[in-house]
């Protein structure tokens, strides 16, 4: 025999797991979110954990780097399958799903999805590499009413403000419309040495969008430096940062209404508010903000700094922050995309969606001790086993109670009563049931919180 070697297992960095009592709260969160999503008529789907690598590629530079591919440990020669990779979000798989099952779906297709996603980040404190997202999206054929752009954040407000443990948190949904930024960039004319001007290239615009997306994280100064560098590399012979600055200055304020934002835009002499894309963006944002007036004051603001890094967004964009801690980053984000499925199907399928970064939010509250963590078991009742020869009666009593909807754990051995009660206490099981220790005696139930103990009948007993 070999000597027994012990390798104490370590947690794998970035792949969280919870103790049973925490998992119980996590399940309650999922149930809560599912109930609200379904109350608005969203159906559920799940997609496989993997997509063909080509499907995931090129949806945004930052994400590309983080893709996990999977491979069989013992590959055999002649494996000619497409490379498979774990999905990094639920939007790209949704687009593929919608195109693939197009003929079998009813549009507008309203679905929710609550799955794990994976991002192969370098291990660092607080970054998850496997985490849950909870998404709702609506996808329509040709036309998707703008009302949905307002319904999305309204539903998420309902979810986030009512999750167990979130009661004391102040959050704010920040909304913008990418057309405002894209229209501003479109309206720019870059002077050339010969006196003519040219518009910004598509690549340059995309790069500026990604730079502005980092405002919260990197700060104004760094972002302006990056934009300057981007301009230089593109051969623009003067400070591109100076041209973008007026927009960035408007990013520093959050506006209570789209009207206020429009006034600020109009007042900025360096922004060409005549651009039709920009105008459209303001109109859309104005409509969405208007539809959200029923939410509490400060719940929603118009904020031009919200642009989202992913390339596929084309209109409304959302982020959600803890009002007192915006640096923590967004806990619920999304937006409108006009043609995400366009590479799979010859249809125009605009969509709008929003996603809760579930695990990150949950773990924040867990670490702050704000989750209602309690019982270690779903059992309502611990059924005492008085003696081995009374097992049949204890089992039958448990069965009757289960049939009546109670969760009942039967203690596994005829141990001392004190030990059985301690077990119920350790697991925070609220009631302990004593079947008769001798024939003819009554059943009794102890309420572990009040200490009260009363006669009981399994057919009629109710929680006290």
CB of 82 to a second copy, least distance (A): 8
* Cα–Cα distance measured from residue 381 to residue 403, given in angstroms and rounded to the nearest whole number: 13
Place of tokens 């499907």: 55
387 binds a second copy, rule: CB under 8 A: no
CB 104 within 8 A of CB 328: no
CB 408 within 8 A of CB 427: no
367 binds a second copy, rule: CB under 8 A: no
15 binds a second copy, rule: CB under 8 A: yes
Count CB atoms within 10 A of the CB of residue 109.
21
Q: x/- binding map, residues 425-464, to a second copy, per CB under 8 A?
A: -xx-x-----------------------------------
Closest Cα to residue 31, out of 299, 378, 399, 381? 378
Among 287, 322, 328, 344, binds a second copy (CB under 8 A): 344
User: What's the chain's length in residues?
Assistant: 464
Q: Which helix (H) or strand (E) holds 453?
A: strand 453-456
CB of 118 to a second copy, least distance (A): 8
Beta pairing, strands 130-139 & 453-456: unpaired
Instruction: Dig out the tokens for 395 from the structure.
Output: 């089992």
301 binds a second copy, rule: CB under 8 A: no
Beta pairing, strands 171-177 & 300-302: parallel
164 binds a second copy, rule: CB under 8 A: no
Pick between residue 159 and residue 236 the one whose CB is nearest to a second copy: 159
313-342 residues in contact with a second copy (CB under 8 A) are 342
Among 29, 32, 67, 206, binds a second copy (CB under 8 A): 67
46 binds a second copy, rule: CB under 8 A: yes
96 binds a second copy, rule: CB under 8 A: yes
| Stretch touching a second copy by CB under 8 A, among 167-175, 185-193, 366-374, 377-385 | 377-385
* Cα–Cα distance measured from residue 392 to residue 87, given in angstroms and rounded to the nearest whole number: 50
CB of 9 to a second copy, least distance (A): 5
406-425 residues in contact with a second copy (CB under 8 A) are 406-410, 412-413, 423
Pick between residue 106 and residue 196 the one whose CB is nearest to a second copy: 106
CB of 281 to a second copy, least distance (A): 22
108-127 residues in contact with a second copy (CB under 8 A) are 108, 110-111, 116, 118, 120, 122-123
CB of 304 to a second copy, least distance (A): 28
Q: Strand pairing partners for 136?
A: 112, 354
368 binds a second copy, rule: CB under 8 A: no
Q: How many residues bind a second copy (CB under 8 A)?
A: 97
Place of tokens 């040495």: 193
189 binds a second copy, rule: CB under 8 A: no
* Cα–Cα distance measured from residue 69 to residue 82, given in angstroms and rounded to the nearest whole number: 11
3-state secondary structure of 92: helix
50 binds a second copy, rule: CB under 8 A: yes
Q: Sign (positive/negative) of CA torsion 391, 397, 402, 407?
A: negative
| Exposure string for 45-71, b = 16+ CB within 10 A, e = fewer | bebebbbeeebbeebbeebeeebbeee
Side-chain-facing half-sphere of 252: CA atoms under 13 Å:
9
29 binds a second copy, rule: CB under 8 A: no
Q: x/- binding map, residues 70-89, to a second copy, per CB under 8 A?
A: xxxxx-x----xx-xxx---
Pick between residue 59 and residue 96 the one whose CB is nearest to a second copy: 96
Instruction: Dig out the tokens for 2 from the structure.
Output: 């070999």
* Cα–Cα distance measured from residue 159 to residue 167, given in angstroms and rounded to the nearest whole number: 11
CB of 350 to a second copy, least distance (A): 13
CB of 53 to a second copy, least distance (A): 8
Let me know if 434 is exposed, middle or buried by CB neighbors in 10 A (0-12, 13-18, 19+): buried
CB of 98 to a second copy, least distance (A): 10
Among 58, 61, 62, 101, binds a second copy (CB under 8 A): 101
Instruction: Dig out the tokens for 27 from the structure.
Output: 């399940």
400 binds a second copy, rule: CB under 8 A: no
Let me know if 386 is exposed, middle or buried by CB neighbors in 10 A (0-12, 13-18, 19+): buried
Pick between residue 93 and residue 334 the one whose CB is nearest to a second copy: 93
């Amino acid at each position: 025999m070999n000597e027994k070697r012990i390798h104490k297992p370590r947690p794998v960095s970035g792949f969280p797991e919870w103790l049973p009592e925490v998992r119980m709260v996590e399940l309650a969160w999922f149930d809560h979110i599912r109930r609200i999503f379904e109350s608005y008529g969203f159906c559920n789907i799940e997609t496989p954990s993997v997509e063909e690598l080509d499907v995931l590629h090129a949806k945004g530079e930052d994400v590309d780097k983080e893709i996990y591919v999977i491979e069989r440990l013992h590959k055999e020669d002649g494996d000619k399958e497409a490379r498979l990779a774990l999905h990094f979000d639920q939007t790209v798989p949704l687009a593929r799903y919608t195109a693939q099952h197009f003929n079998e779906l009813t549009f507008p297709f309203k679905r929710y999805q609550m799955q794990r996603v994976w991002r192969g980040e370098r291990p660092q404190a607080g970054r998850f590499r496997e985490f849950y997202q909870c998404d709702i999206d609506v996808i329509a054929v040709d036309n998707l009413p703008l009302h949905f752009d307002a319904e999305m954040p309204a539903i998420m407000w309902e979810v986030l403000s009512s999750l167990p443990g979130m009661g004391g948190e102040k959050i704010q949904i920040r909304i913008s419309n990418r057309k405002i930024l894209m229209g501003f960039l479109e309206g720019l004319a870059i002077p050339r040495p010969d006196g003519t001007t040219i518009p910004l290239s598509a690549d340059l615009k995309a790069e500026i969008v990604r730079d502005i997306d980092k405002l919260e994280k990197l700060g104004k100064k760094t972002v302006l430096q990056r934009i300057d560098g981007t301009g230089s590399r593109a051969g623009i012979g003067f400070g591109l940062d100076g041209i973008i600055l007026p927009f960035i200055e408007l990013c520093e304020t959050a506006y209570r209404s789209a009207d206020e934002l429009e006034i600020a835009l109009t007042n900025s002499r360096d922004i060409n508010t005549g651009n039709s894309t920009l105008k459209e963006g303001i109109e859309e944002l104005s409509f969405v903000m208007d539809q959200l007036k029923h939410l509490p004051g400060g719940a929603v603001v118009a904020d031009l700094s919200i642009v989202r890094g992913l390339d596929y967004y084309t209109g409304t964009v959302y982020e959600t922050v803890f009002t007192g801690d915006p640096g923590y980053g967004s806990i619920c984000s999304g937006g409108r995309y006009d043609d995400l499925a366009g590479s799979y199907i010859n249809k125009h399928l605009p969509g709008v969606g929003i996603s809760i970064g579930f695990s990150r939010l949950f773990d924040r509250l867990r670490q702050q001790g704000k989750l209602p963590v309690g019982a270690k078991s779903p059992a309502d009742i611990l059924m005492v086993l008085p003696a081995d020869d009374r097992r049949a009666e204890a089992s039958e009593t448990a069965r009757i109670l289960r049939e009546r909807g109670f969760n009942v754990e039967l203690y596994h051995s005829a141990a001392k009563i004190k030990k059985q009660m301690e077990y119920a206490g350790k697991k925070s099981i609220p009631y302990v049931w004593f079947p008769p220790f001798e024939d003819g005696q009554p059943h009794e139930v102890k309420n572990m919180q009040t200490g009260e103990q009363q006669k009981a009948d399994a057919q009629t007993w109710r929680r006290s």
